[in-house]
Structure formats: structure tokens, C-alpha cells
A and B are shown apart, each in its own frame.
Chain A
Amino acid sequence: MRRVARAAALLLAASVLGAAEPSSPSGPSRLSGELDAAGLAARVAQEKGRVVLVNFWATWCEPCREEFPSLSRLAAAYRAKGLTVLGVSTDLASQLPGVEKFLAAQNPPFPNYRKKSEGDDQDFIDAVDRAWGGDLPFTVLYGRDGRKAKALAGQQSYAQFEKEVQSLLR
């Protein structure tokens, strides 16, 4: 068991880089690091016992920007009840300044990562959910057992997020 935990920790360390480089001299990055598909799976596994909501977004995606405040509200309201929210920006490295600016303005109460630029996006998309066509935003919910419970395509309202989360927290 301990060996499995250590392997998972090593995998996570290998897949999650440290905090991304500051995009401006004004302060450290608001991103918690970069993830590939394996890193994301390991990050979700770290939260076993809690319901995990992973939201994929991008600064150039208008509906993503519109639904983001709902995620912040949800994370704050349900953290103590067992919900972990993770954000994954699919922006490219060249768009990092925009990502930092967006996160600075939103100040989300949950960690956000950036999808690693390397590799074919299709591999990442398929690893997250084979039914996902690549449209953003996209949200995946994992139950307390760590298994994928539901995927939500497109922009969701706070009420829609809340309904799904409440059903998994029961």
C-alpha cells in the first residue's frame, strides 16, 4: 500500500511541475503548475475520499470566462462538505500573461493548472473523456471513490453544478 502511495507521489511529482514561472515582475504565478493527462489523474487520485470537480477552460473561451465565477462560488460553498475544485487552463504558453491576468482578476479559491503544451491535444482530450470532442468549457466530476461519475459539456449554471455536486456528496 505504502509502495503504491509512493509511486503515486512520484508520478505526481514527475507530472506536475512546480509553480509556473511568474509572468510579470509583479508577483508569483497564480498557477499551481502544469499537468499532462497522467499528472491530472494523479492529482485527482490525491483527493480520494472527496468529490472532485475538474473544469477545463481557456482565456479565449467566452463561456468559460462566464461560468468561472460559479466555480469559485461552488468551491467556497462546498469545500467543507467534501468538494475539491480543480481548474485546468488549456491556454498555450504564449497566452500565459492572459491566464495570469484572468486568475488575478477572478482570484479563485481553488487551484488552477495549465495543460502541458507538449504532445497532441487529442491524446489529452481522449484521456480525460473519450466522448469529449474538445469543446470548451468541459467539466468532469469524480466521486469519493475516485471514479469518474459525470462529464458536463458546455457552459453550466451555478444551479447545474450544485445539483451534480450535491448528488455526489450524498
Chain B
Amino acid sequence: MPTKPEETRHEMPREMPHEMPLDQRPTLLDVRDLHVHFALRGGFLDRLLGRSSGAVKAVDGVSFTLRRGEVLGLVGESGSGKTTTARALLGLAPITSGSVRFDPDGTGPIELTKLSEREFRALRKKMQLVFQDPHASLNPAMDLATAVAHPLRIHKMAADRATIETQVRTAFERVGLTPPDQYLHKLPADLSGGQKQRAVLARAIMLNPALLVADEPVSMLDMSVRAKILELMLELKRDLGLTYLYVTHDLATAKFFCDTIAIMYLGRIVEIGPAAEIYADPKHPYTRALLAAIPEPDPSRVTARRLPRGEVPDAARPPLGCSFHPRCPSAFEPCGWETRDLHALLEQRWTKVSEEQYERERALVEDPVEMDDAGLVAKLADSRSGSGAAAALVDEMRADDPAEPLWRGVASIDPKPDGVEVAFNDPVDPGLLDAGPVEVACHLHDARFAALSSKEGRRPTP
């Protein structure tokens, strides 16, 4: 009599003491100082002369630990590097430097970055990926039974046909595609979004993985079924002893799903800690902004929220100091104010003043394009040398909006014969600091700057 698939699938008993506190559970995945850089292609001449044209630091020193049975939420906007981080762990993005130690069987960590492609492939059975778009991740010409059994064939774990079919049926039942007979020979096009995502989950658990990386698994689904898929994923985690890395932009779903939250911005983790703590007392201004931006389905709660201005900056030319400073309502002296910020402020001013005033001011100064490069001294030239117009304009900008955080970063404003030079404080790169149960990369929580950050004039945080 053939062994029941239930038992063969679980060759290793996964004792997952769910009551055990997170920090006492064994480590499944340990990521240290992970960097993924993509070289930029320069012009023809640059390439001919072998000149480097810089790199995009998609992931710029990310560290975290994932313990068995934990759900870690990697949260950020597009361009934050969350997906690149997840892909790098699975060997789908080239790791520039850093260490990824994976211990799927509890037999000791294996350093993934040192493995050959062949050795890695064997380990990849233990880590599976669920993509955002269930429609795009299923082959439209493959029926569900074939699709779900596909990993077995790829990893040459396929036994005889009968065993495969039993395993597929078990997986279907597990993800709620019941009765399996009704779904085995359907094509993806015959299914709803939620059913497709169930099939993708069935395929992901086929190889009995230890780690499931889920990249926005519910963002393409209708509101009415998101909760159902999240519940299913929690069920699978409990029954199969899975560990999740949940990649998302949505702090609302992460709240129900994650034990730990890591907030990413422009390739770095800016805040990481227990989920309950992050939601109850967000420390980083970016985390606060993300939480405040989630639309609430309650019109009576709509208040005039202050939103961070602008968008995620170009990763090829990141801001100096803290990457979030140009958008941050609480930024102050050491945050890395620079020439580009003054340019942005000037452009912002010109969207607000009257058209006549814009025309007049525009004529007084030279085109401020030079301020578009990173630097600590901004030079705004008079269009008529010696008129002093540029200096007057900077003074007026400051007088019109003295509460603007940029002015706190200004070290000096020096009128020159042909314009004005605005010098900024030296930028300080924020590292992750201990702030109670969480770690946060923000100067507001740095004791060195306590005197400055509490100084009067700081805008209240949103």
C-alpha cells in the first residue's frame, strides 16, 4: 500500500513551537550587509575608455534575521529595493557583497553567496517565490495539475504518475481548491484571481519549502478576497511550518500578517522591529508618513493630513545624508541639505507665486540648472551681474517660509559680486540606532543631535 503523501511530504518533523518567543526560535535566514549594485551604462566614449559611470545601489547594506515560523514584512514604495532584496536572496539578482546564511534543515547555516549555481539550485527547493500577478505567473497553456506538478519535474523529484497525482491533489486540498477534480484540468483563464493565487500557492508548497518569499501576493486581488488569501497563507504557515518574507507597499495588510516589519527607503532599512511596536509608535518620519497615507474607508475621519512632498528620488543620484531628508517634515541641520534641495524649493515657490511674480523672478536670476548636481555650495547667479537680485531672492524665499526645514541646513548665505552662494552643513549619514525595541535610522533619535532636534522651530511631526 502506498504511503500517504501527507507523511512522505513531511520527511522532517517540523516542530514549530508557536508559543516559543520569536527571539528564542532558531534562525532560518540571516542576511548581513547585503549590497546589490547595478552598474550604469555610460556613453560610448565612457565605455571605450573604461570609465565607470557609477552604479545604482538598489540594495545598500541591508541586514535582518528571519527566525523559523516568523513573518517578516519588507515594506516600502517602488524603488525602495524591497523586491531586489527578496530576489537577491533567491539568487535572482546578483549580490555585490554581503552574506546570506540559510539553514533550511536545522543542520547549520549555509552561506548562499559562496555557492555555485549547481549547489544553489539544490537549495532553492527550500525557498519558493509567490509573485504579485497570479495571472502572469501561470502558463496560460498549462492546466493546473501540470503547473502545480511542474516543480517536481524541474527538480527531478517526480516519482511515478500516481504519486505525483496524489501529491497534487493534497496540495489542491491544502489551498482550498476543492474538490480537486473540479480544478485539476482547468486552465488559468477559467479561474478568478483568488483561485489563481491559490494555485500559485499550491505550486509553491509542492517542494515542501522552508521559506516562502511572497512579493505583493494580494495587491492584484479584489478587496473582497484579499483577507481570504492572507488567512490561507497564515494557515499554510501554521500547518507546514513555513517562514515568510512578505514584500509589500501596503502597511495595512502587513499589520495582520507580520511579526516583524522592516521599512525600506532607497535601498536601506530605515526602521525595523516588532510589528506591534512599529504600528503603535512609529519612530521614523517615513514610517509615520506611510501610515498616514493609507486611505481609511471612513469619510468622517478625513483630516487635512500633511503629506511628504515629492517622490522617491532617483537611486542613481541619491540625496546626501539621509535619503528621505528632501521629503521629510522633521528634517533638521545634519540631515544632508544640499544644492538640489534649494533648486527644488525655488521651483516649488514658482508653482505657488503669481504668474507675474514668477516671470519677474525668473528674469532676475540665471537658470539654476547648476544646482542640479549634488553639492554643498549652491550658486545662484544674477542675470545682470552686480544687481544683487539673487541674494535678495534667497532672502525673500527665507522670509516667506521661515519654517521650511531646508533653512536649518544652511550654514551661510554669502552675497558675491555676481550672485549668491548658499553653503550647507556637512551631511551625516544616518545608521540604524537602537531606539527601544526597534532600530531606526534617523538623526531625530541620535543622542549626538538631541540638542538640535529638540530646538524650537522644528515642525511638529505628522
Partners in one complex: no
